[in-house]
Amino acid sequence: MLSRVCETLYWVSRYIERAENVARLINVNNMLIMDLPKGVSTGWEPLIDIIGMRQAYQENHTDFSESKALRYLLIGYDNNSSILNSVINARENARTIRDVIPRDVWEEINSLYYYVKDNQNEGLSKRGRFAYLKKIIESTHMIFGTLDATLNHDQGYTFSRFGLMIERADMSSRILDIRSATLITNEEGKPFENIQWISLLRSMSAYQMYRQQMGVRVQRADVIEFIMHSEVFPRSILFCLNELKKMMQPIIHSEELIKLIDQVCDSLKNEDVRMLKNGDLHDYVDKIQLKLAGVHNQLAELYFLKAPELTETAE
Amino acid sequence: MGIDWKAYQTNGFFDELIDAKGNVRLHGNQLAQFFSSLSNEELVKARAVADLAIKEMGISFTVYDEGNMIDRAWPFDIIPRTIGKKEWQGIEVGLKQRVEALNLFIDDLYHDQKIIKDGVFPKGLLEKSVNFRKQCVGVNPPNKIWAHICGSDLVRDGNGTMYVLEDNLRVPSGVSYMLENRSVMKRVFPELFDQVSILPVDDYPSQLFDMLAAMSPRPQDKPEVVVLTPGVFNSAYFEHCYLAQEMGCELVEGRDLVVEKDDCVYMRTITGLQRVDVIYRRIDDLFLDPEAFLPDSQLGVPGLMRAWAKGNVALVNAPGAGVADDKVVYAYVPEMIKYYLGEDAKLANVPTYKCLDPKECDYVIKNIDKLVVKPANESGGYGLLIGPKSTKKEQQETIAQIKADPRNWVAQPTLDLSTVPTLDGVEPDGRHVDLRPFILSSGHDTQVTTGGLTRVAMNKGSLVVNSSQGGGSKDTWIVDEEA
């Protein structure tokens, strides 16, 4: 498989997964705000942090009001992680490999683009938002499902899955980081602490699985443990890393990369994340994110097209 | 109520569906009946379904507008253009004959140039040709085929004669739209395909692949065939993808390929370099190889011409094939057919005045307001002057250009291009059309697409069918009248 094509497949998946995660985040935050009394709510500010865009946001915005933040998250042209831009990026990448991706997948990506763009007012209105986001999430599932069911499970597929899993691990770590840091823990917020952890789980569609696997009521330590260490929950960081490792095994020249992923896994498993206080948790999650970026760099180094010239020789 | 064909005006043109007496032609009977049976609401709905299908399938072409790249949906009309099977069979034979002669001509030009020595083709023309590539002299592509894929533009004039207007031998495009038009029609009017006996068009990608595979320098089970595109910014990018996808080939850009010291072409894959046997290139000659042509081209592959000349890779179409597709060379095709095949041309050329000839040039300048004047090597309708529709100022400008370089200009009488009923709201109105069939030659056999791409000048009265200038298209049906 062409290096350029593998790289593009990787990015298509990352962007689609990002669109899904942002849609999910907005939806759950929306629900949470409705549950919390006025004055207790943290509003929309944490979401801007989760996508790592605080600084850029503040350059053009004076506050984190619902309408401004939502516009930024949904369709902000100056926000590379807005749903619309993620979908545009996915579509532009997909367009350059239309020959490779199954036709149905291209059509679904194309339709998703038109849906996000043409119905943005739905997303901005309180009433239409839930349905709008739900449709986006469903559409991303359709894209990955169709890819899974119709693309040859060859190298290209591996790179597509790799992009999906690394984006997902990254997003999970961000959600955990920001959500736990901004959790309201003062006296006034105490009665609502539970709701907030539940909302964190829900934003990752993890609530039901958490109950099944952990079998305990929702509490901080267990939630962190579940999101970081679960080997069965498909959005946990460890699960994603294990997947990355598994899928790279049949790929040629992947020894160094697997070793690197192994290191990240080991350091994650050896950390007693339950005990991390808020500040330490943040530092630790930061470390994980840097390591994930390291995995990406190593992957790019090994397999992606390098800018001017490669020096390999013919086999 | 639906379309009333009796009310349809042919306005003195040859209409592909309705004859001069106002009757429906035999091959269009079932089609006309079907459209009469549709209510206005159904027509409007069908159009919407077609537009949506085109949008969802992402059928688009790219235009440049003041530096911006715009991806436009493909303009499409839902009333098909029909041609009777019998007539089509005649056209097919004529096209095959033509392409055979063109390939012999190109091969001759790059070898002994017998046709010049025998005085049939003027030497001066070749010397001034901008598409003659000295880098190709003496090269022997497999089976002596240079123009593997030819897209010939056919037009019908006022009395119904089909003419060849030009042959596109460099990187002819449009075939994907022909195929997509059919699949859109199947989505819009599935019931129609039960009623009418329409010959299928789906087979083109497999024929194309077989032809490409047959050019491989390494006889083996599965040659590595790739489609080489200039990239996503090219106006025909959609088609490059489409064909690669349909053939199951890699779509590559120049940077994906490399010519190694063994003068073979390889592509960069995640497992290392992999040999490439056949390149269906959609890049113009001059951008193919910066070592041989434009040194600053980023699109091509350094060393590609070397690899091709050594026979280590097949290039389709072969570099230099464009020498036979300029509009002056076109005028000599009937002579070529006679010279190489000893036959008369079965498909007519549009009568063409060559400005190279002082007498004909004089005629062109004197009658410029009645003629269509064309520069030899522009595509997409650029630089074209349509005499009767031009201003005095435009005519003077073109005359000045002709005088400066007569070799570069030809002129043809204005043809009353045939029309096809095309929806304007819910009413059919005649719009001018042409037809571009594609001819595949492998040296073993020659195949012609069933019908081709019908391009429509969507604006009333317009004669320009190019998609870059307001043209659209229609599905083209070859109808078996006897079935």
B455 Rama class: left (phi>0) / alpha (psi -120 to 50) / beta? beta
- Pick the more confident residue, B67 or A53: A53
At residue A309, the pLDDT reads 46
Q: Best mutation site among B270, B280, B298, B313 for testing chain A: the one with the most A CBs within 10 Å? A: B270
- Does the residue A134 lie in any domain? yes
Beta strands in B340-426 (DSSP E): 348-349, 353-354, 371-375, 385-386, 409-413, 419-424
- Pick the more confident residue, A188 or A130: A130
Q: Which residue range forms the structural domain that includes residue A122? A: 3-303
At residue A98, the pLDDT reads 85
% of chain A surpassing 70 pLDDT? 94
Q: Are A80 and A74 in contact (CB under 8 A)?
A: no
Q: Best mutation site among A99, A106, A112, A115 for testing chain B: the one with the most B CBs within 10 Å? A: A99
Res. A255 pLDDT band, cuts 50 70 90: very high
Flag if A312 and B56 touch (Cβ within 8 Å).
Answer: no
Backbone angles phi, psi at B79, to 5 degrees: -90, 115
At residue A313, the pLDDT reads 38
Q: Which of B58, B250, B274 sits opposite A110 (nearest CB)?
A: B58
| B250 has a chain A CB within 8 A of its CB | yes
| B55 has a chain A CB within 8 A of its CB | yes
- Does the residue A269 lie in any domain? yes
At residue B456, the pLDDT reads 94
- Does the residue A50 lie in any domain? yes
**Residue of chain A minimizing CA distance to B233:** A96
Which domains does chain B show, CATH number per domain?
353-413 (3.30.1490.270)
Cα(B411)–Cα(B415) distance, integer angstroms: 12
Flag if A312 and B264 touch (Cβ within 8 Å).
Answer: no
Closest CA to B475 of B236, B192, B207, B184: B184
- Pick the more confident residue, A61 or A190: A61
Res. A310 pLDDT band, cuts 50 70 90: very low
Show pLDDT as tens, one digit a residue, over chain B (483 residues): 678 999 999 999 999 999 999 999 999 999 999 999 999 999 999 999 998 888 877 777 666 555 565 667 778 999 999 999 999 999 999 999 999 999 999 999 999 999 999 999 988 888 878 889 999 999 999 999 999 999 999 999 988 999 999 899 999 999 998 999 999 999 899 888 888 889 988 789 999 999 999 999 997 778 999 999 998 888 888 899 889 988 989 999 999 999 999 999 999 999 899 999 999 999 999 999 999 999 988 889 999 999 999 999 999 999 999 999 877 888 899 999 999 999 999 999 998 998 888 899 999 999 999 898 988 766 556 678 888 888 999 999 999 989 888 888 889 998 889 999 999 888 999 999 999 999 999 999 999 999 999 999 988 888 777 766 778 899 999 999 887
Q: Which of A97, A107, A314 sits opposite B58 (nearest CB)?
A: A107
At residue A136, the pLDDT reads 97
What value of ipTM does the predicted structure carry? 0.72
A266: tokens are 């080991």
Q: Are B80 and B195 in contact (CB under 8 A)?
A: no
CB pairs under 8 A between A and B: 87
- Does the residue A311 lie in any domain? no
In this prediction, residues A213-237 reach a mean pLDDT of: 90
At residue A311, the pLDDT reads 40
CA B179 → CA B20, B451, B455, distances in Å? 31, 11, 13
B171: tokens are 């990187």
| B298 has a chain A CB within 8 A of its CB | no
Cα(A176)–Cα(A281) distance, integer angstroms: 9
Q: How many domains are there within chain A?
A: 1
A192: tokens are 């609502």
Q: Are A66 and B212 in contact (CB under 8 A)?
A: no
Q: Which of B242, B262, B268 sits opposite A3 (nearest CB)?
A: B268
Q: Which of A100, A114, A252 sits opposite B55 (nearest CB)?
A: A114
- Does the residue A113 lie in any domain? yes
CA A12 → CA A7, A34, B160, distances in Å? 9, 34, 51
Distance from CA of A238 to the nearest CA of B (A): 26
The beta-carbon contacts of B43-48 under 8 Å, at least 24 apart in sequence, are: B43/B2, B43/B3, B43/B78, B43/B423, B43/B426, B44/B426, B46/B78, B46/B188, B46/B189, B47/B78, B47/B423
Res. A212 pLDDT band, cuts 50 70 90: confident
**Helices within B284-426 (DSSP H only):** 285-288, 304-309, 327-330, 333-341, 358-366, 392-404
- Does the residue A308 lie in any domain? no
Cα(B182)–Cα(B198) distance, integer angstroms: 11
A interface with B, Cβ–Cβ < 8 A, is 1-6, 92, 95-100, 103, 106-107, 110-111, 114, 155, 159, 251-253, 303, 305, 310, 312-315
Q: Which of A3, A92, A97 sits opposite B269 (nearest CB)?
A: A3
How many whole angstroms from its chain centre is CA A36? 25
Cα(B128)–Cα(B124) distance, integer angstroms: 6
Of A5-14, A30-39, A129-138, A177-186, give the lowest mean pLDDT range: A177-186
Cα(B169)–Cα(B151) distance, integer angstroms: 7
- Does the residue A202 lie in any domain? yes
pLDDT, one tens digit per residue, over A154-200 is: 999 999 999 999 999 999 998 888 777 666 666 666 677 778 888 88
Cα(A283)–Cα(A50) distance, integer angstroms: 15
This prediction's pTM: 0.82
At residue A314, the pLDDT reads 36
- Does the residue A314 lie in any domain? no
